[in-house]
Structure 1
Protein backbone atom coordinates (compact mmCIF):
# COMPACT_ATOMS: atom_id res chain seq x y z
CA UNK A 1 0.00 0.00 0.00
CA UNK A 2 1.44 3.41 -0.99
CA UNK A 3 2.64 5.55 1.90
CA UNK A 4 0.59 8.63 2.61
CA UNK A 5 2.36 11.63 1.15
CA UNK A 6 2.74 14.86 3.05
CA UNK A 7 1.11 18.05 1.85
CA UNK A 8 3.92 20.60 2.28
CA UNK A 9 4.55 24.19 1.29
CA UNK A 10 4.84 22.93 -2.31
CA UNK A 11 1.04 23.09 -2.45
CA UNK A 12 0.87 26.75 -3.43
CA UNK A 13 -2.38 26.18 -5.35
CA UNK A 14 -4.26 23.35 -3.58
CA UNK A 15 -7.15 23.32 -6.04
CA UNK A 16 -4.85 22.76 -9.04
CA UNK A 17 -2.72 20.32 -7.05
CA UNK A 18 -5.82 18.29 -6.21
CA UNK A 19 -6.79 18.09 -9.91
CA UNK A 20 -3.26 17.10 -10.93
CA UNK A 21 -3.02 14.35 -8.31
CA UNK A 22 -6.40 12.88 -9.26
CA UNK A 23 -5.40 12.74 -12.91
CA UNK A 24 -1.90 11.36 -12.29
CA UNK A 25 -3.16 8.58 -10.02
CA UNK A 26 -5.60 7.43 -12.70
CA UNK A 27 -2.98 7.56 -15.44
CA UNK A 28 -0.51 5.58 -13.32
CA UNK A 29 -3.23 2.99 -12.84
CA UNK A 30 -3.61 2.80 -16.61
CA UNK A 31 -7.40 3.12 -16.71
CA UNK A 32 -9.84 5.43 -18.46
CA UNK A 33 -12.29 7.79 -16.80
CA UNK A 34 -15.16 5.48 -17.69
CA UNK A 35 -13.37 2.48 -16.17
CA UNK A 36 -12.71 4.45 -13.00
CA UNK A 37 -16.34 5.54 -12.87
CA UNK A 38 -17.47 1.92 -13.13
CA UNK A 39 -15.21 0.98 -10.23
CA UNK A 40 -16.36 3.82 -7.97
CA UNK A 41 -20.01 4.10 -8.98
CA UNK A 42 -19.68 7.82 -9.77
CA UNK A 43 -20.47 9.62 -13.01
CA UNK A 44 -17.45 9.69 -15.33
CA UNK A 45 -18.13 13.29 -16.41
CA UNK A 46 -17.87 14.43 -12.77
CA UNK A 47 -14.50 12.68 -12.46
CA UNK A 48 -13.40 14.39 -15.65
CA UNK A 49 -14.28 17.79 -14.21
CA UNK A 50 -12.20 16.95 -11.15
CA UNK A 51 -9.15 16.30 -13.32
CA UNK A 52 -9.66 19.52 -15.27
CA UNK A 53 -10.06 21.57 -12.10
CA UNK A 54 -13.61 22.58 -13.03
CA UNK A 55 -15.04 21.26 -9.79
CA UNK A 56 -13.83 20.01 -6.43
CA UNK A 57 -16.71 17.58 -6.06
CA UNK A 58 -17.61 16.40 -2.59
CA UNK A 59 -15.56 14.92 0.27
CA UNK A 60 -17.20 11.57 -0.51
CA UNK A 61 -15.54 11.52 -3.95
CA UNK A 62 -12.14 12.30 -2.41
CA UNK A 63 -12.65 9.53 0.15
CA UNK A 64 -13.69 7.05 -2.55
CA UNK A 65 -10.61 7.87 -4.61
CA UNK A 66 -8.36 7.55 -1.55
CA UNK A 67 -9.81 4.11 -0.85
CA UNK A 68 -9.47 2.98 -4.46
CA UNK A 69 -5.87 4.16 -4.88
CA UNK A 70 -4.79 3.31 -1.33
CA UNK A 71 -3.59 6.86 -0.69
CA UNK A 72 -4.66 6.84 2.97
CA UNK A 73 -6.48 10.18 3.11
CA UNK A 74 -4.03 12.16 0.98
CA UNK A 75 -6.66 13.28 -1.54
CA UNK A 76 -9.13 14.18 1.20
CA UNK A 77 -6.43 16.34 2.81
CA UNK A 78 -5.83 18.12 -0.50
CA UNK A 79 -9.58 18.54 -0.96
CA UNK A 80 -9.89 20.17 2.47
CA UNK A 81 -7.04 22.55 1.65
CA UNK A 82 -8.64 23.37 -1.70
CA UNK A 83 -11.97 24.43 -0.22
CA UNK A 84 -10.08 27.29 1.40
CA UNK A 85 -11.92 27.31 4.74
CA UNK A 86 -11.16 24.34 7.02
CA UNK A 87 -13.57 25.71 9.64
CA UNK A 88 -16.42 24.71 7.37
CA UNK A 89 -15.41 21.09 7.82
CA UNK A 90 -14.34 20.88 11.43
CA UNK A 91 -13.64 17.49 12.94
CA UNK A 92 -17.12 16.53 14.14
CA UNK A 93 -18.66 17.33 10.75
CA UNK A 94 -15.86 15.49 8.99
CA UNK A 95 -16.69 12.48 11.15
CA UNK A 96 -20.32 12.83 10.13
CA UNK A 97 -19.41 12.92 6.42
CA UNK A 98 -17.37 9.75 6.80
CA UNK A 99 -20.29 8.00 8.49
CA UNK A 100 -22.69 9.23 5.81
CA UNK A 101 -20.44 7.91 3.04
CA UNK A 102 -20.30 4.48 4.70
CA UNK A 103 -23.96 4.24 5.79
CA UNK A 104 -26.22 1.52 4.42
CA UNK A 105 -29.42 3.12 5.70
CA UNK A 106 -30.24 6.79 6.32
CA UNK A 107 -33.41 8.47 7.48
CA UNK A 108 -33.99 12.18 7.95
CA UNK A 109 -36.47 14.75 9.21
CA UNK A 110 -36.29 18.33 7.91
CA UNK A 111 -38.25 21.17 9.48
CA UNK A 112 -38.52 24.04 7.02
CA UNK A 113 -36.11 23.33 4.16
CA UNK A 114 -35.64 20.45 1.76
CA UNK A 115 -33.05 17.82 2.76
CA UNK A 116 -29.58 18.60 1.45
CA UNK A 117 -29.49 15.29 -0.45
CA UNK A 118 -32.53 16.45 -2.47
CA UNK A 119 -31.47 20.02 -3.22
CA UNK A 120 -30.76 21.27 -6.73
CA UNK A 121 -27.87 23.67 -7.33
CA UNK A 122 -30.29 26.60 -7.54
CA UNK A 123 -31.96 25.73 -4.24
CA UNK A 124 -28.62 25.26 -2.49
CA UNK A 125 -27.32 28.54 -3.93
CA UNK A 126 -30.23 30.65 -2.67
CA UNK A 127 -30.28 28.94 0.72
CA UNK A 128 -26.53 29.19 1.34
CA UNK A 129 -26.38 32.77 0.08
CA UNK A 130 -29.08 33.70 2.61
CA UNK A 131 -26.78 32.22 5.24
CA UNK A 132 -24.06 34.70 4.32
CA UNK A 133 -21.86 32.76 1.89
CA UNK A 134 -20.67 34.30 -1.36
CA UNK A 135 -17.90 34.04 -3.92
CA UNK A 136 -15.66 30.99 -3.93
CA UNK A 137 -16.89 29.78 -0.55
CA UNK A 138 -20.45 29.69 -1.87
CA UNK A 139 -19.48 27.78 -5.02
CA UNK A 140 -17.50 25.23 -3.02
CA UNK A 141 -20.39 24.58 -0.65
CA UNK A 142 -22.83 24.16 -3.55
CA UNK A 143 -20.52 21.64 -5.21
CA UNK A 144 -20.12 19.71 -1.98
CA UNK A 145 -23.84 19.63 -1.25
CA UNK A 146 -24.98 18.60 -4.72
CA UNK A 147 -22.15 16.07 -5.02
CA UNK A 148 -23.31 14.23 -1.90
CA UNK A 149 -26.44 12.92 -3.62
CA UNK A 150 -24.35 10.86 -6.06
CA UNK A 151 -24.10 8.17 -3.39
CA UNK A 152 -27.89 7.79 -3.39
CA UNK A 153 -28.01 7.32 -7.15
CA UNK A 154 -25.26 4.69 -7.27
CA UNK A 155 -26.28 1.10 -8.05
CA UNK A 156 -25.47 0.08 -4.47
CA UNK A 157 -26.69 3.30 -2.90
CA UNK A 158 -27.96 3.27 0.69
CA UNK A 159 -31.64 3.25 1.56
CA UNK A 160 -32.86 6.74 2.39
CA UNK A 161 -36.16 7.74 4.02
CA UNK A 162 -36.95 11.44 4.37
CA UNK A 163 -39.78 13.28 6.11
CA UNK A 164 -40.26 16.62 4.35
CA UNK A 165 -42.36 19.32 5.97
CA UNK A 166 -45.20 20.85 3.98
CA UNK A 167 -43.71 24.17 5.04
CA UNK A 168 -40.61 23.42 2.93
CA UNK A 169 -42.80 22.69 -0.09
CA UNK A 170 -44.69 25.97 0.37
CA UNK A 171 -41.52 28.07 0.58
CA UNK A 172 -40.55 28.59 -3.08
CA UNK A 173 -37.39 29.97 -4.61
CA UNK A 174 -37.46 33.51 -6.02
CA UNK A 175 -36.89 32.09 -9.50
CA UNK A 176 -40.11 30.35 -10.51
CA UNK A 177 -38.48 28.11 -13.12
CA UNK A 178 -35.80 27.06 -10.62
CA UNK A 179 -38.54 26.21 -8.10
CA UNK A 180 -40.37 24.05 -10.65
CA UNK A 181 -37.06 22.32 -11.42
CA UNK A 182 -36.60 21.63 -7.70
CA UNK A 183 -40.07 20.08 -7.37
CA UNK A 184 -39.48 17.97 -10.48
CA UNK A 185 -36.15 16.85 -9.06
CA UNK A 186 -37.83 15.86 -5.80
CA UNK A 187 -40.26 13.67 -7.74
CA UNK A 188 -37.36 12.20 -9.71
CA UNK A 189 -35.52 11.26 -6.53
CA UNK A 190 -38.65 9.72 -5.06
CA UNK A 191 -38.97 7.31 -7.99
CA UNK A 192 -35.76 5.49 -7.03
CA UNK A 193 -36.33 2.18 -5.28
CA UNK A 194 -33.95 3.00 -2.41
CA UNK A 195 -35.55 6.39 -1.64
CA UNK A 196 -38.79 6.96 0.28
CA UNK A 197 -40.31 10.42 0.78
CA UNK A 198 -43.01 11.33 3.30
CA UNK A 199 -44.66 14.76 3.36
CA UNK A 200 -45.60 15.98 6.84
CA UNK A 201 -48.75 18.15 6.58
CA UNK A 202 -48.94 21.39 8.53
CA UNK A 203 -52.19 20.09 10.05
CA UNK A 204 -50.16 17.41 11.84
CA UNK A 205 -49.43 20.11 14.41
CA UNK A 206 -46.64 20.11 16.99
CA UNK A 207 -44.52 17.01 17.50
CA UNK A 208 -41.33 15.76 19.12
CA UNK A 209 -39.02 17.05 16.38
CA UNK A 210 -40.68 20.42 15.77
CA UNK A 211 -37.45 22.37 16.34
CA UNK A 212 -34.92 19.74 15.22
CA UNK A 213 -33.42 18.67 11.88
CA UNK A 214 -32.21 15.11 12.34
CA UNK A 215 -30.35 12.61 10.16
CA UNK A 216 -29.90 9.01 11.32
CA UNK A 217 -27.11 6.88 9.86
CA UNK A 218 -26.84 3.11 10.20
CA UNK A 219 -23.55 1.50 9.29
CA UNK A 220 -22.89 -1.99 7.99
CA UNK A 221 -22.17 -3.06 11.58
CA UNK A 222 -25.76 -2.22 12.57
CA UNK A 223 -24.79 0.74 14.77
CA UNK A 224 -26.87 3.89 14.39
CA UNK A 225 -25.80 7.46 15.14
CA UNK A 226 -27.62 10.75 14.64
CA UNK A 227 -26.69 14.18 13.38
CA UNK A 228 -28.82 16.91 14.98
CA UNK A 229 -28.66 20.35 13.40
CA UNK A 230 -29.92 23.89 13.88
CA UNK A 231 -29.36 26.90 11.66
CA UNK A 232 -26.13 27.66 13.52
CA UNK A 233 -24.48 24.38 14.48
CA UNK A 234 -24.66 20.61 14.36
CA UNK A 235 -23.93 17.81 16.80
CA UNK A 236 -23.06 14.16 16.23
CA UNK A 237 -25.03 12.05 18.72
CA UNK A 238 -23.54 8.60 19.38
CA UNK A 239 -24.81 7.68 22.84
CA UNK A 240 -27.18 4.73 22.36
CA UNK A 241 -29.91 5.87 24.73
CA UNK A 242 -30.12 9.34 23.20
CA UNK A 243 -30.17 7.96 19.65
CA UNK A 244 -32.97 5.56 20.56
CA UNK A 245 -34.99 8.42 22.07
CA UNK A 246 -34.58 10.43 18.88
CA UNK A 247 -35.55 7.40 16.80
CA UNK A 248 -38.76 7.00 18.81
CA UNK A 249 -39.62 10.63 18.15
CA UNK A 250 -38.88 10.12 14.46
CA UNK A 251 -41.18 7.09 14.29
CA UNK A 252 -43.99 9.08 15.92
CA UNK A 253 -43.52 11.91 13.40
CA UNK A 254 -43.57 9.42 10.52
CA UNK A 255 -46.91 8.14 11.80
CA UNK A 256 -48.28 11.67 11.30
CA UNK A 257 -46.93 11.98 7.75
CA UNK A 258 -48.53 11.04 4.44
CA UNK A 259 -47.75 7.69 2.84
CA UNK A 260 -45.14 7.64 0.05
CA UNK A 261 -47.92 7.44 -2.58
CA UNK A 262 -49.90 10.28 -1.00
CA UNK A 263 -46.69 12.30 -0.68
CA UNK A 264 -45.91 11.87 -4.36
CA UNK A 265 -49.38 13.11 -5.27
CA UNK A 266 -48.98 16.05 -2.89
CA UNK A 267 -45.72 17.12 -4.56
CA UNK A 268 -47.31 16.72 -7.98
CA UNK A 269 -50.12 19.08 -6.90
CA UNK A 270 -47.53 21.58 -5.69
CA UNK A 271 -45.88 21.40 -9.11
CA UNK A 272 -49.21 21.94 -10.86
CA UNK A 273 -49.90 24.98 -8.68
CA UNK A 274 -46.46 26.52 -9.27
CA UNK A 275 -46.55 29.39 -11.81
CA UNK A 276 -45.18 28.59 -15.25
Structure 2
Protein backbone atom coordinates (compact mmCIF):
# COMPACT_ATOMS: atom_id res chain seq x y z
CA UNK A 1 0.00 0.00 0.00
CA UNK A 2 1.49 3.35 -1.04
CA UNK A 3 1.36 6.47 1.11
CA UNK A 4 -1.63 7.99 -0.67
CA UNK A 5 -3.57 4.77 -0.16
CA UNK A 6 -2.76 4.91 3.57
CA UNK A 7 -4.24 8.40 3.78
CA UNK A 8 -7.38 7.36 1.88
CA UNK A 9 -7.81 4.36 4.19
CA UNK A 10 -7.62 6.62 7.26
CA UNK A 11 -10.10 9.09 5.77
CA UNK A 12 -12.52 6.22 5.14
CA UNK A 13 -12.01 5.00 8.70
CA UNK A 14 -12.73 8.48 10.05
CA UNK A 15 -16.10 8.49 8.33
CA UNK A 16 -17.17 4.93 9.05
CA UNK A 17 -16.15 5.07 12.72
CA UNK A 18 -18.74 7.81 13.18
CA UNK A 19 -21.45 5.71 11.59
CA UNK A 20 -21.82 8.05 8.59
CA UNK A 21 -22.45 7.06 5.00
CA UNK A 22 -20.71 8.97 2.22
CA UNK A 23 -23.67 11.26 1.54
CA UNK A 24 -24.03 12.19 5.23
CA UNK A 25 -20.31 12.72 5.60
CA UNK A 26 -20.24 14.88 2.49
CA UNK A 27 -22.99 17.15 3.77
CA UNK A 28 -21.10 17.65 7.03
CA UNK A 29 -17.89 18.75 5.30
CA UNK A 30 -19.65 20.68 2.51
CA UNK A 31 -18.76 18.23 -0.26
CA UNK A 32 -21.04 15.99 -2.28
CA UNK A 33 -21.39 12.32 -1.46
CA UNK A 34 -20.14 11.63 -4.98
CA UNK A 35 -16.94 13.55 -4.20
CA UNK A 36 -16.43 11.58 -0.98
CA UNK A 37 -16.95 8.33 -2.87
CA UNK A 38 -14.46 9.35 -5.56
CA UNK A 39 -11.78 10.17 -2.96
CA UNK A 40 -12.35 6.93 -1.05
CA UNK A 41 -12.21 4.84 -4.23
CA UNK A 42 -9.01 6.57 -5.37
CA UNK A 43 -10.46 8.13 -8.52
CA UNK A 44 -10.12 11.69 -7.19
CA UNK A 45 -7.13 12.95 -5.18
CA UNK A 46 -7.53 13.96 -1.50
CA UNK A 47 -6.61 17.62 -1.85
CA UNK A 48 -5.35 19.90 0.91
CA UNK A 49 -8.69 21.74 0.93
CA UNK A 50 -10.60 18.48 1.29
CA UNK A 51 -8.62 17.17 4.25
CA UNK A 52 -8.71 20.58 5.94
CA UNK A 53 -12.52 20.47 5.73
CA UNK A 54 -12.49 17.07 7.44
CA UNK A 55 -10.06 18.24 10.14
CA UNK A 56 -12.17 21.29 10.82
CA UNK A 57 -15.55 19.52 10.89
CA UNK A 58 -14.41 16.40 12.72
CA UNK A 59 -12.22 18.41 15.12
CA UNK A 60 -9.21 16.17 14.56
CA UNK A 61 -6.71 18.80 15.61
CA UNK A 62 -5.28 18.96 12.09
CA UNK A 63 -4.47 15.23 11.97
CA UNK A 64 -5.18 14.68 8.28
CA UNK A 65 -3.47 17.88 7.19
CA UNK A 66 -0.34 16.77 9.05
CA UNK A 67 -0.60 13.29 7.56
CA UNK A 68 -0.95 14.77 4.08
CA UNK A 69 2.20 16.83 4.65
CA UNK A 70 4.16 13.88 6.03
CA UNK A 71 3.24 11.29 3.40
CA UNK A 72 5.56 12.50 0.61
CA UNK A 73 8.78 11.42 2.35
CA UNK A 74 7.29 7.93 2.61
CA UNK A 75 6.59 8.05 -1.12
CA UNK A 76 10.03 9.51 -1.83
CA UNK A 77 8.19 12.41 -3.46
CA UNK A 78 8.45 16.17 -2.77
CA UNK A 79 5.57 17.71 -0.81
CA UNK A 80 4.55 20.00 -3.64
CA UNK A 81 4.44 17.17 -6.16
CA UNK A 82 2.55 14.42 -4.32
CA UNK A 83 -0.93 15.75 -5.01
CA UNK A 84 -0.17 16.32 -8.69
CA UNK A 85 1.23 12.82 -9.21
CA UNK A 86 -2.08 11.42 -7.93
CA UNK A 87 -3.91 13.55 -10.52
CA UNK A 88 -1.44 12.63 -13.26
CA UNK A 89 -1.85 8.90 -12.65
CA UNK A 90 -5.63 9.19 -12.99
CA UNK A 91 -5.68 11.48 -16.02
CA UNK A 92 -7.15 10.37 -19.33
CA UNK A 93 -5.43 13.27 -21.07
CA UNK A 94 -2.64 15.74 -20.31
CA UNK A 95 -1.81 19.04 -21.96
CA UNK A 96 1.66 20.29 -21.02
CA UNK A 97 3.13 23.64 -22.06
CA UNK A 98 6.80 24.42 -21.33
CA UNK A 99 8.83 27.53 -22.22
CA UNK A 100 12.01 26.50 -20.34
CA UNK A 101 12.59 22.74 -19.92
CA UNK A 102 11.57 19.53 -21.64
CA UNK A 103 8.52 18.24 -19.70
CA UNK A 104 9.39 15.66 -17.05
CA UNK A 105 7.39 12.90 -18.75
CA UNK A 106 9.64 13.20 -21.82
CA UNK A 107 13.01 13.76 -20.16
CA UNK A 108 15.97 11.41 -20.41
CA UNK A 109 17.59 10.43 -17.13
CA UNK A 110 20.72 12.46 -17.95
CA UNK A 111 18.69 15.57 -18.81
CA UNK A 112 16.58 15.21 -15.65
CA UNK A 113 19.67 14.91 -13.47
CA UNK A 114 21.34 17.90 -15.11
CA UNK A 115 18.30 20.17 -14.69
CA UNK A 116 17.92 19.18 -11.04
CA UNK A 117 21.59 19.90 -10.39
CA UNK A 118 20.85 23.50 -11.36
CA UNK A 119 18.63 23.85 -8.27
CA UNK A 120 19.32 23.99 -4.54
CA UNK A 121 19.31 20.23 -3.90
CA UNK A 122 21.85 17.88 -2.37
CA UNK A 123 23.00 14.72 -4.15
CA UNK A 124 20.53 12.39 -2.42
CA UNK A 125 17.58 14.68 -3.16
CA UNK A 126 18.61 14.89 -6.81
CA UNK A 127 18.76 11.11 -7.19
CA UNK A 128 15.45 10.72 -5.39
CA UNK A 129 13.73 13.15 -7.72
CA UNK A 130 15.36 11.72 -10.84
CA UNK A 131 14.02 8.30 -9.93
CA UNK A 132 10.57 9.70 -9.20
CA UNK A 133 10.55 11.55 -12.51
CA UNK A 134 11.61 8.52 -14.54
CA UNK A 135 9.15 6.25 -12.73
CA UNK A 136 6.30 8.62 -13.60
CA UNK A 137 7.00 8.09 -17.30
CA UNK A 138 5.56 4.57 -17.01
CA UNK A 139 2.08 6.03 -17.57
CA UNK A 140 2.97 6.63 -21.23
CA UNK A 141 3.27 2.91 -21.93
CA UNK A 142 0.70 1.42 -19.58
CA UNK A 143 -2.55 -0.19 -20.69
CA UNK A 144 -4.92 2.63 -21.67
CA UNK A 145 -2.32 5.41 -21.37
CA UNK A 146 -3.37 9.06 -21.26
CA UNK A 147 -3.38 11.10 -24.43
CA UNK A 148 -0.53 13.56 -24.01
CA UNK A 149 -0.18 16.81 -25.94
CA UNK A 150 3.06 18.68 -25.32
CA UNK A 151 3.73 22.22 -26.50
CA UNK A 152 7.28 23.57 -26.28
CA UNK A 153 8.82 26.93 -26.94
CA UNK A 154 11.63 26.49 -29.50
CA UNK A 155 14.11 27.79 -26.90
CA UNK A 156 13.61 24.56 -24.93
CA UNK A 157 15.17 22.62 -27.80
CA UNK A 158 18.08 25.00 -28.25
CA UNK A 159 19.00 25.71 -24.61
CA UNK A 160 22.09 23.74 -23.68
CA UNK A 161 22.22 21.94 -20.34
CA UNK A 162 25.63 21.87 -18.63
CA UNK A 163 27.13 22.79 -22.01
CA UNK A 164 26.78 19.12 -22.96
CA UNK A 165 25.92 18.79 -26.65
CA UNK A 166 25.75 14.99 -26.52
CA UNK A 167 23.25 15.20 -23.68
CA UNK A 168 21.10 17.57 -25.71
CA UNK A 169 21.29 15.38 -28.82
CA UNK A 170 20.17 12.40 -26.76
CA UNK A 171 17.31 14.41 -25.28
CA UNK A 172 16.06 15.80 -28.58
CA UNK A 173 16.30 12.35 -30.16
CA UNK A 174 14.22 11.08 -27.25
CA UNK A 175 11.56 13.67 -28.08
CA UNK A 176 11.50 12.46 -31.68
CA UNK A 177 10.99 8.89 -30.48
CA UNK A 178 8.23 9.97 -28.07
CA UNK A 179 6.46 11.79 -30.90
CA UNK A 180 6.13 8.41 -32.58
CA UNK A 181 3.96 7.03 -29.78
CA UNK A 182 0.28 6.87 -30.74
CA UNK A 183 -0.79 8.70 -27.57
CA UNK A 184 1.80 11.52 -27.71
CA UNK A 185 1.68 14.69 -29.83
CA UNK A 186 4.36 17.37 -29.70
CA UNK A 187 4.05 20.92 -31.00
CA UNK A 188 6.64 23.70 -31.07
CA UNK A 189 6.09 27.44 -30.81
CA UNK A 190 8.79 28.83 -33.13
CA UNK A 191 11.19 31.58 -32.20
CA UNK A 192 9.65 33.97 -34.72
CA UNK A 193 6.33 33.85 -32.84
CA UNK A 194 7.77 36.65 -30.71
CA UNK A 195 6.22 37.42 -27.33
CA UNK A 196 3.09 35.47 -26.38
CA UNK A 197 1.25 34.78 -23.11
CA UNK A 198 2.74 31.33 -22.50
CA UNK A 199 6.18 32.80 -21.86
CA UNK A 200 4.98 33.83 -18.40
CA UNK A 201 5.38 30.22 -17.23
CA UNK A 202 4.78 26.56 -17.91
CA UNK A 203 1.70 24.66 -16.80
CA UNK A 204 -0.13 21.35 -17.16
CA UNK A 205 -3.82 20.57 -17.60
CA UNK A 206 -5.14 17.12 -16.68
CA UNK A 207 -8.56 15.76 -17.62
CA UNK A 208 -9.84 13.08 -15.22
CA UNK A 209 -12.29 10.30 -16.11
CA UNK A 210 -15.19 12.09 -14.37
CA UNK A 211 -14.71 15.20 -16.51
CA UNK A 212 -12.96 17.21 -13.80
CA UNK A 213 -9.95 19.24 -14.98
CA UNK A 214 -6.98 20.08 -12.76
CA UNK A 215 -4.09 22.42 -13.50
CA UNK A 216 -0.53 22.46 -12.23
CA UNK A 217 1.81 25.45 -12.17
CA UNK A 218 5.37 26.07 -10.96
CA UNK A 219 7.01 29.20 -9.67
CA UNK A 220 10.32 30.06 -8.04
CA UNK A 221 8.90 29.59 -4.54
CA UNK A 222 6.13 27.02 -4.87
CA UNK A 223 4.25 24.66 -7.13
CA UNK A 224 0.59 23.87 -6.79
CA UNK A 225 -2.27 21.82 -8.09
CA UNK A 226 -5.22 23.97 -9.16
CA UNK A 227 -8.80 22.81 -9.00
CA UNK A 228 -10.73 26.09 -8.94
CA UNK A 229 -12.73 26.28 -12.15
CA UNK A 230 -12.01 29.97 -12.80
CA UNK A 231 -8.25 29.38 -12.64
CA UNK A 232 -8.45 26.25 -14.77
CA UNK A 233 -10.42 28.20 -17.40
CA UNK A 234 -7.66 30.83 -17.41
CA UNK A 235 -5.03 28.15 -18.06
CA UNK A 236 -7.16 26.63 -20.82
CA UNK A 237 -7.43 30.07 -22.44
CA UNK A 238 -3.64 30.51 -22.30
CA UNK A 239 -3.24 27.03 -23.80
CA UNK A 240 -5.42 27.98 -26.76
CA UNK A 241 -3.45 31.20 -27.25
CA UNK A 242 -0.17 29.25 -27.28
CA UNK A 243 -1.63 26.68 -29.67
CA UNK A 244 -2.43 29.43 -32.17
CA UNK A 245 1.27 30.37 -32.19
CA UNK A 246 2.54 26.79 -32.53
CA UNK A 247 3.59 25.07 -35.74
CA UNK A 248 1.42 22.22 -37.07
CA UNK A 249 2.43 18.79 -35.81
CA UNK A 250 4.41 17.74 -38.90
CA UNK A 251 6.30 21.02 -39.12
CA UNK A 252 6.97 20.85 -35.38
CA UNK A 253 8.55 17.42 -35.81
CA UNK A 254 10.61 18.69 -38.74
CA UNK A 255 11.94 21.51 -36.56
CA UNK A 256 12.77 19.09 -33.73
CA UNK A 257 14.72 16.91 -36.18
CA UNK A 258 16.54 19.98 -37.50
CA UNK A 259 17.56 20.97 -33.98
CA UNK A 260 18.70 17.40 -33.25
CA UNK A 261 21.13 17.68 -36.17
CA UNK A 262 22.43 20.98 -34.81
CA UNK A 263 23.49 19.25 -31.57
CA UNK A 264 25.63 16.70 -33.43
Q: 2:137 — aligned with what?
A: 149
SS at match of 1:210: helix
Q: 1:191 — aligned with what?
A: 180
Structural mapping, 1:124-135, within 5 Å: 124-135=112-123
Q: Does 1:80 align with 2:73?
A: yes
SS at match of 1:108: strand
Q: Does 1:200 align with 2:193?
A: no
Superposition CA RMSD, Å: 2.3
Q: Distance in 2 between matches of 1:129 and 1:205?
A: 30
SS at match of 1:139: helix
Quickly say closer, same or farther: Cα 1:124–1:231, change in 2 above 3 A: farther
Q: 2:227 — aligned with what?
A: 238
Q: Distance in 2 between matches of 1:104 and 1:110?
A: 20
Structural mapping, 1:112-261, within 5 Å: 112-173=100-161, 174-261=163-250
Structural mapping, 1:103-114, within 5 Å: 103-114=91-102
Q: Does 1:89 align with 2:83?
A: no
Residue 144 of structure 1: how far off its partner (Å): 0.5
- Tell me the alpha carbon deviations over residues 186-206 of structure 1, each in whole angstroms, 9 at most, x when there is no partner: 001110111110011121122
Count of residues in Structure 1 that have an aligned counterpart in Structure 2: 199
Task: Pick from 84, 87, 95 the counterpart of residue 99 of structure 1.
Answer: 87
SS at match of 2:206: strand
- Tell me the alpha carbon deviations over residues 218-250 of structure 1, each in whole angstroms, 9 at most, x when there is no partner: 000011111111233212221112211210111
Residue 182 of structure 1: how far off its partner (Å): 0.6
Q: Distance in 2 between matches of 1:218 and 1:191?
A: 22
Q: Distance in 2 between matches of 1:250 and 1:158?
A: 18
User: Which contiguous aligned blocks of 4+ residues in structure 1 show a shift greater than 4 angstroms?
Assistant: none
Q: Distance in 1 between matches of 2:248 and 2:160?
A: 23
- Tell me the alpha carbon deviations over residues 34-68 of structure 1, each in whole angstroms, 9 at most, x when there is no partner: xxxxxxxxxxxxxxxxxxxxxxxxxxxxx9xxxxx
SS at match of 2:235: helix
Quickly say closer, same or farther: Cα 1:205–1:94, change in 2 above 3 A: same
SS at match of 1:112: coil
SS at match of 1:149: helix
Residue 178 of structure 1: how far off its partner (Å): 1.8
Which sits farther off after the overlay, 234-243 or 217-226?
A: 234-243
Residue 135 of structure 1: how far off its partner (Å): 1.7
Quickly say closer, same or farther: Cα 1:262–1:149, change in 2 above 3 A: same
TM-score (norm 2): 0.70
Residue segments in structure 2 that go unaligned for 5+ positions in a row: 8-41, 43-69
